[in-house]
Amino acid sequence: MARNTFSRSLHDVGLAAWFGGTLANAVALNAAAGEADEKDAGRVTNAGWNRWTPVNAVAIGAHLVGSVGQLAGNSGRLAAQPGVKAMSTVKTVVTVAALGATAYSRALGKVVDAAGDPRVKGGTKSSKNTPAEVSSAQGKLDLMQWVIPALTGTLVVISSFAGEQQRASEVLPGVTGAGHRS
């Protein structure tokens, strides 16, 4: 079996950044913006997320390229080993959901960003002075800031399971037809 170190590294480092960056921004940036004055909180939040967006795009791209490389490198196991195709299908569905959630969150973020320096209480908390469209977007972002780390965290767990499926005790019985473990 050939090594796929490069594609595995792209997959794992990209996913780690996607997960970790969105979680850190939800936990730290959005909350820390609430420490700023209401007139500055929107500007601070927009600046932080706008700096993160290109890094996140690169991380997601690396993860996707690595994922394709992993699929190509494991095509034999995918076809022959019981459970691998199901795991890969679930992982693909969760990846598509995470991509959709990320794109939706970015669209909501652009609504907040387009308002310039809106008066807000924090990254996802509006004030009585927040414009209605910004307040609506922030309400949705308040949920989405947790959905993305939940989905990407799920991908980390599925990837761990996939790694376990690559143990010799799992691969050999599956590809030789001598039975398998789940």
Tell me the pLDDT tens digit for each residue of 62-95: 999 999 999 998 888 888 888 889 999 999 999 9
Strand partners, 126: 120
Confidence (pLDDT) at 94: 98
Query: What pLDDT is stored for residue 79 in this prediction?
Result: 87
Positions of the chain with pLDDT under 70: 1, 167-182
State residue 182's pLDDT score: 47
